[in-house]
A and B are shown apart, each in its own frame.
Chain A
Amino acid sequence: MKKQGNTVEIRWHGRGGQGAKTACLLLADVAFSSGKQVQGFPEYGPERMGAPITAYNRISDDKNSVHSNIYHPDYVVVVDETLLHTVDVTSGLSEDGAIIVNSTREPAEVRELLGGYKGKVCTVDAEKISVETLGKNFPNTPMLAAAVKVSNVVENHKFLHDMESSFKHKFASKPYVIDGNMKALRMSMDQVKVG
């Protein structure tokens, strides 16, 4: 599959309501803030809560004019582990890239479910991190952080700085959730296991 220039392509798999689309748009936001050319777009259909959804990012230094879905991503992020059984999540995934899965399991165990994918397999327990830091299961925030850590598509320090500004803006009326969200990002970046 051909792509323009040095573009990094990311595909998100989640279920309707888990925030995969929001995480995808947030990644576009933070990449924009670090001076990148970005695209963040979900694939729409007759979605409803719980149904599998896909969203995409293209991130590059030069303008990207391509308006198709992404079939050969550099990175795949799986927000809901149950999708490993129903969706071919590694389809077209670059073996120089990585798949990042929300799971309590070790990367080696998850790799066995991935039909012989040879690139990096990363896992992070986004649910645990989210419950610990935010009191509820919002897996998309930790998954976003893990995706940034593994792909390095945005410089990690800059990412944390931009996310803090963004949370301050987004949660201006409930500042008490800012710390929890920042903690979720940091914990995820520390705890993501690369195998």
Chain B
Amino acid sequence: MAKKDRMSGNEAVAYAMKQIDPDVMGAFPITPSTEIPQYFAKYIADGKVHTEFVAVESEHSAMSTCIGAEAAGARAITATSSAGLAYMYELLYVASSSRLPVVMAVVNRALTGPININNDHSDSMGCRDAGWIQIYAENNQEVYDNYIQAMPIAEHCRLPIMICQDGFITSHAVENIELLDDASVKDFVGEYDPEHYLLNEEEIYSVGPYGVSPYYMEIKKAQAEAMKSAPARIKEVGEAFGQMSGRGYGMLEEYRMDDAAYAVVLIGSSAGTGKAAVDMLRADGMAAGLIKVRVFRPFPAEELAIALAGTKAVAVMDKAESFSGQGGPLFAETRSALYEAEDRPYMMNYVYGLGGRDVTIETFDEVFEDLQEVAATGDTGDGYRHIGVREA
């Protein structure tokens, strides 16, 4: 029986972890993800879970702990943010190339410079090419639901996975949520039964050896192939989750896109604000729509091209700079996804919400107004813009 409750995004993740009861957690505190290991440690202290908690001295060691535990054949989890994620950087590649399905809760926070604790996506976007699956959430319900889907996806694909949510905006906000009962979660996630693992005395096995040139590219290609086949599993798990909970998930969510002429494409909590803007613009007669990219790695290029077919003008909104001089990471990938499409829409990029800069319904009104103008005049001007920036 599902239970109606209210809790913060961090509590929701810790609660999902409790329901799953994984073998090992290695974690080091960093704002705004600190509450996750904090709540979870209480579950351990109260005897609610049987997890071995390894209190490490850094995130580098937290990820190393997860790698060691997963290699041994255990389910291992961690949680981090911002500079903590950056400190794991080297190990992220070790986990993915060793094909270890570590599950990491990422509470997105600006990757410092200047120092800032608030939300944007620069931390996880910075490691988008590390070979991890990345799933993002709009609200507390989604981050809870995504977390429960993480192991069935990652363990099947043999790829590590990041379950991301927006720091403070969802991690520290109390909202309504519907929780599944423990038995349903346990049943859905199932037991972890790795094919190869170090503690298997029947099989001599080694993890993480030197990759000599004659083998290295084959290993990388195998990782790439695993990522290419991951969408099928992500969709399969999302559908099964929907059958259980009534909340199904795919690679992306289309909101009022059926006859949309103008659309925004974005990731995370601001999608909820964007949906409210779309509803109001629709009420005023504008054919507005929104696409929320749920899975950024692997990138849903095909789905995006289909969903955006028929639109006149599209704004891709990035909550991270990539300093490419021509737009953020979501923009680059979305534009590339539409390269082969016929009747391509005009496409704009808006970098927004960096370091916690607030994003309101009016921000979206401004974007949609621009899109109408671009479609009418055929002139995108400088298509790479920063929105919500104070004038000098």
Contact A65 B275 (CB under 8 A): yes
Of the candidates A32, A42, A68, A69, the one having the most CB atoms from chain B within 10 angstroms of its own CB is A68
Contact B273 A69 (CB under 8 A): no
B270 closest partner in A (C-beta): A67
The smallest C-beta distance from B195 to any residue of chain A, in angstroms, reads: 41
- In the assembled complex, A102 has its CB within 8 A of some CB on chain B: no
Pick the interface stretch among A33-41, A125-133, A134-142. Answer: A33-41
B177 closest partner in A (C-beta): A32
Contact A65 B276 (CB under 8 A): yes
Interface string of A50-77 (1 = CB under 8 A from B): 0000000000000101111101000000
- In the assembled complex, A150 has its CB within 8 A of some CB on chain B: no
Contact B170 A67 (CB under 8 A): yes
Contact A39 B174 (CB under 8 A): yes
- In the assembled complex, A153 has its CB within 8 A of some CB on chain B: no
Q: Which B residues touch A2, using CB under 8 A?
A: 276-277, 280, 361-362, 365
- In the assembled complex, A191 has its CB within 8 A of some CB on chain B: no
Query: Assuming the A-B contacts A41-B168, A42-B172, A66-B273, are A28 and B362 also in contact, with contact meaning beta carbons closer than 8 angstroms in the complex?
Result: no
- In the assembled complex, B117 has its CB within 8 A of some CB on chain A: yes
Q: Which B residues touch A38, using CB under 8 A?
A: 6, 174-176
- In the assembled complex, A4 has its CB within 8 A of some CB on chain B: yes
Across the interface, B174 reaches (CB within 8 A) one of A1, A28, A63, A68, namely A28
- In the assembled complex, B359 has its CB within 8 A of some CB on chain A: yes
Of the candidates B6, B138, B168, B270, the one having the most CB atoms from chain A within 10 angstroms of its own CB is B6
Across the interface, B272 reaches (CB within 8 A) one of A28, A32, A37, A65, namely A65
- In the assembled complex, B336 has its CB within 8 A of some CB on chain A: no
Q: Which B residues touch A162, using CB under 8 A?
A: none
Q: Which B residues touch A37, using CB under 8 A?
A: 176
Query: Assuming the A-B contacts A41-B168, A68-B360, are A32 and B6 also in contact, with contact meaning beta carbons closer than 8 angstroms in the complex?
Result: yes
In the bound assembly, the distance between CA atoms of A2 and B363 in angstroms comes to 11
Instruction: Please provide the chain B residues from 334 to 384 with a CB less than 8 Å away from any CB of chain A in the complex.
Output: 356, 358-362, 365
Count of chain A residues with Cβ under 8 Å from any Cβ of B? 24
Instruction: Please provide the chain A residues from 1 to 49 with a CB less than 8 Å away from any CB of chain B in the complex.
Output: 1-4, 25, 28-29, 32, 37-42, 44-46
- In the assembled complex, B139 has its CB within 8 A of some CB on chain A: yes
The smallest C-beta distance from A3 to any residue of chain B, in angstroms, reads: 8
The smallest C-beta distance from B367 to any residue of chain A, in angstroms, reads: 14
- In the assembled complex, B173 has its CB within 8 A of some CB on chain A: yes
The smallest C-beta distance from A9 to any residue of chain B, in angstroms, reads: 12
Across the interface, B276 reaches (CB within 8 A) one of A46, A66, A71, namely A66
Q: Which A residues touch B279, using CB under 8 A?
A: 4
Query: Assuming the A-B contacts A66-B272, A67-B139, A67-B269, are A41 and B118 also in contact, with contact meaning beta carbons closer than 8 angstroms in the complex?
Result: no
In the bound assembly, the distance between CA atoms of A38 and B260 in angstroms comes to 30
Interface string of A61-103 (1 = CB under 8 A from B): 0010111110100000000000000000000000000000000
- In the assembled complex, B169 has its CB within 8 A of some CB on chain A: yes
Contact B139 A68 (CB under 8 A): no
Counting from the closest, the 3 A-B pairs by CB-CB distance are A65-B272, A41-B173, A67-B269
Instruction: Knowing that A46-B117, A66-B273 touch, tell me 11 more A-B residue pairs with CB under 8 angstroms.
Output: A41-B168, A41-B174, A44-B32, A44-B356, A65-B139, A65-B275, A66-B276, A67-B139, A67-B270, A67-B359, A68-B360
**Residue contacts A-B, CB under 8 angstroms, 10 given:** A2-B361, A2-B362, A29-B6, A29-B174, A38-B174, A40-B173, A41-B173, A44-B32, A46-B117, A66-B276
A residues touching B (Cβ–Cβ < 8 Å)?
1-4, 25, 28-29, 32, 37-42, 44-46, 63, 65-69, 71
